[in-house]
Amino acid sequence: MPHDIISLYRAKLAREKGTVRKDRGGRLSVALIYPNYYRLGMSNLGFQIVYGLFNKRSDVVAERIFLPDRQENSIYLSISKGLLSLESQTPLQNFDLAAFSLSFENDYPNILKILELGKIPLLTEERSDPCPFIMAGGITTFLNPEPLATFMDFFLLGEAEANLNEFIDLFINFKYRCIKRSDVAYNLARNLPNVYVPALYRPEYHKDGTLKSFLPKQDQVPARIKVARSPTGGFVDEYEPRSMITTPDTEFADKILIEIGRGCGRSCRFCAGGYVYRPPRPYKELDLRTSIEKALGTCGQVGLLASAVSDVPWIEDLTSLIVNKGGRFSVSSLRADSLTQKLLENIRQAKQRTITIAPEAGSERLRRVINKHLTKKQIVEAVQLISRIEDLSIRLYFLIGLPGETREDISEILNLVKVIKHNMVKESAPRGKIAGIKMSVNCFIPKPFTPFQWLPLEHVSSLKEKEKRIKKALGKEGGIKVNSDVPKWAYFQALLSMGDRRVGSMLLLSHKFGGDWAKAIRFSDINPDFFVYRPKGLDEVLPWDFIDHGILKEHLISEYKLAEKSEESEICHVGECVRCGVCG
């Protein structure tokens, strides 16, 4: 037995609070897998929510598996045992179901590492009983699951609160009724409209490599897969959208994360989350107060998460509640145009030191292109407000490579940051203490189900040049720290975001070559530039068109054309319009 691994895992468990431990006898055993390190997986609220939903059922035992860190990996490589679960140190291959929770395309290579370490055949067609069924869920799967199609037995698309229980009921039923693995998958696809079984669909291509059609191979399998959506968001059947487990070994050490709303109505054209989580749903104030009070009863710190925390109608009252009870909190990104002095005062009292706002673009024109609904005046006013509060610094998020971006737009980023710094100095100078600016520069990556899904990634060499220019110019300014993406990795993220199932062969090659993507490209029959740098036709069949979010393609095309004219459109008015189709 790999005693070193067992001791390591037991030490981790000893530092956790809230871990679920169940006897496996008579229960469906689920390995819930986060394809990255423990400290990142346990900081992911979606992963924790699914862990709670699985284990809420008396007929299921769900245990966690993560990508082994360097120390763990060296131990696994020196022993014959396969990858073990955290809770009971059971081999991955001994579970009934292995469920990957996917939030980021850059984690896809880790899926193959985990399967190999767990002694699971990488390709669906190579698996046979008693191998566990391999499935995946999470936001990237209901954007575009196709690059993973050859590795997954099936996907469960949508919000887990809306379909996980029905899926479990059906899976348990078919697992014990069906003799063949393929029959289990087929019956799931037939009976649950959110289950996508890649083996049941056949893509056909034109001579130029574009998709010609994507149709089911068998009768009674839906041509389109519906994405499940909870009408009330995370609060379902007395279940709260909060982290189950706290531990000091995470990005959010010993802090309970609470989702306070889902989706965003601002309609930024680059943001996939703002489209696929429609309609936006701020949760009820009473539910949130109850959840926060319960969390503070067991932990003195909470993290409040939403697409735009400052847009939640009762955020001032909620943060005041935490402060008045002697608790501490942190918040995710804030909208510059919905900040208030009261909220900022509460943040300061809670001892969060950095406020994050996202201008995204430097120029007014380009912010209209992306439908940001944010002016320079509003950004400066937000900076002034923040700077008047002692002990608060600012983190700024910008995107480069946005549609229609010019050298002048990059100059406008530099000018805006200098204006922000000037106003920070002016407002904080009377205190004799000037806070710094942290700046994150990220590459724009086109995403499915956004108005920019037809656009290519800007060339890596151009992105590098823009990053270099920004760093060089702002390096001469004191008090500004610039961090940036690696454009090379933006390229591969775009490939995994926008590719079809043929990209799976490149992912497999990269795995066989130890993560060497350059070598995988050399040996591949597929040209990755076809997916990354090629603009797509508005009438083209896209690899993700079989997924049904309720969003009208005509609406995305309309937004695309408005972007070309640098025109903004209205934000979401939930229940009052039918423009995008979700509320129709």
What is 10-28 written as a DSSP string?
A: HHHHHT-BS------TTSE
What pLDDT score does 584 carry? 73
Say if residue 350 is in the same domain as residue 476: yes
In a domain, 505, yes or no: no
By DSSP bridging, strand 281-282 and strand 261-262 are antiparallel
261 and 192 inside one domain: no
> Could you tell me if 193 and 279 lie in one domain?
no
Query: Does residue 243 lie within any of the structural domains?
Result: no
Is there a domain that residue 546 lies in?
no
- Structural domain of 43: 3-226
pLDDT-derived band at 445 (thresholds 50, 70, 90) equals very high
* Residues 199 and 272 grouped into a single domain: no
4-11 mean pLDDT:
93
Residue 333 has pLDDT above 90, yes or no: no
DSSP structure string for 66-85: E---HHHHHHHHHSS---B-
Residue-wise pLDDT for 197-243, tens only, equals: 999 999 999 999 999 999 999 989 999 999 999 988 788 877 899 99
Q: How many helices (H) and strands (E) does the chain have?
A: 20, 19
Asked if omega into 279 is within 30° of 0 (cis), the reply is: yes
Residue at token pair 């469920």: 99
User: Are residues 94 and 221 located together in one domain of the fold?
Assistant: yes
Cβ partners under 8 Å of residue 410, min gap 6:
362, 400, 466, 469, 470
For 161-164, the CB contacts below 8 A with 24+ separation are: 161/49, 161/53, 161/230, 161/233, 161/234, 161/236, 161/239, 161/241, 162/228, 162/229, 162/230, 162/236, 163/192, 163/194, 163/228, 164/50, 164/53, 164/54
Q: Which among 188, 208, 226 is the end of a domain? A: 226
Instruction: Indicate the average pLDDT of the chain.
Output: 94
pTM: 0.96
Copy the structure tokens of residue 11.
């030490």
pLDDT at 69 over 60: yes
Instruction: Please give the backbone phi and psi of residue 555, each rounded to the nearest 5 degrees, phi first.
Output: -70, -40
- Residue 112 CA to residue 413 CA, distance in Å, equals 39
Tell me the mean pLDDT in the region 180-205.
97
* Least confidently predicted of 235-244, 250-259, 313-322: 235-244
- Beta strand spans in 342-501 (E): 354-360, 393-400, 437-443, 480-484
C-alpha closest to that of 64 among 85, 84, 47: 85
H-helix or E-strand containing 148? none
**What is the number of alpha carbons within 13 Å of residue 405 lying toward its C-beta?**
26
Rounded mean pLDDT, 252-276 = 94
The answer on 299 and 207 residing in a single domain is no
Q: Do 198 and 59 have their domain in common?
A: yes
375 closest CA partner among 337, 335, 423: 337
Amino acid (1-letter code) at residue 64: R
156 shares a domain with 16:
yes
Model pLDDT for residues 475-489, shown as the tens digit of each residue: 888 889 999 999 999
Q: Give the Cβ contact number of residue 530 at 10 Å.
A: 17
CA angle 373, 377, 380 (to 5 degrees): 110
Do residues 31 and 98 lie in contact, with contact meaning Cβ atoms separated by under 8 Å? yes
Q: How many CA atoms lie within 13 A of 243 on its CB side?
A: 26
- Is the predicted pLDDT of residue 358 greater than 70, yes or no? yes
> Does the pLDDT value for residue 467 go beyond 50?
yes
How would you classify the pairing of strands 256-259 and 225-226? unpaired
Over residues 407-438, the pLDDT tens digits come to 999 999 999 999 999 999 888 877 767 778 99
Domain shared by 375 and 417, yes or no = yes
In a domain, residue 354? The reply is yes
Hey, what are 206's tokens? 């034109």
Average pLDDT over residues 167-183: 94
Q: Which residue has the tokens 């008015």?
A: 573
Query: pLDDT tens across 495-531, in order?
Result: 999 999 999 999 999 999 999 999 999 999 999 999 9
448 pLDDT more than 80: yes
Is residue 262 within 8 Å of 556, Cβ to Cβ? no
Q: Does residue 374 register a pLDDT over 80?
A: yes
Q: What is the pLDDT of residue 231?
A: 86
Tell me, yes or no, whether 534 lies in a domain: no
- Residue 522's CB is within 10 A of a number of other CB atoms, namely 10
> Rounded to an integer, what distance in angstroms lies between the CA atom of residue 294 and that of residue 287?
11
pLDDT at residue 1 greater than cutoff 60: no
Identify whether residues 265 and 184 lie together within a single domain.
Answer: no
168 within 8 A of 60, measured Cβ to Cβ:
yes
Q: Are residues 106 and 9 in the same domain?
A: yes
| Strand, coil or helix: 50 | helix
% of residues, the chain, pLDDT over 90: 86
| Last residue in a domain, options 226, 247, 276 | 226
Helix (H/G/I), strand (E/B), else coil: 473:
helix
- Asked whether residue 530 is assigned to any structural domain, the reply reads no
Task: Tell me, yes or no, whether 361 and 470 share the same domain.
Answer: yes
Residue located via tokens 């899976």: 171
- The band of 251, judged by pLDDT with boundaries at 50, 70 and 90, is confident
- Residues near 409 by Cβ (< 8 Å), separated by ≥ 6? 361, 362, 363, 365, 366, 402
Residue where a domain terminates, one of 172, 207, 226 = 226
CA distance 128 to 108: 23
Task: Give the count of beta carbons closer than 10 Å to the beta carbon of residue 276.
Answer: 25
CATH of the domain at 485: 3.20.20.70
Residue 580 lies in a domain: no
- Structural domain includes residue 538: no
pLDDT range class, residue 3, cuts 50, 70, 90: low
Q: How many domains does the chain have?
A: 2
Evaluate if residue 258 carries a pLDDT over 70. Answer: yes
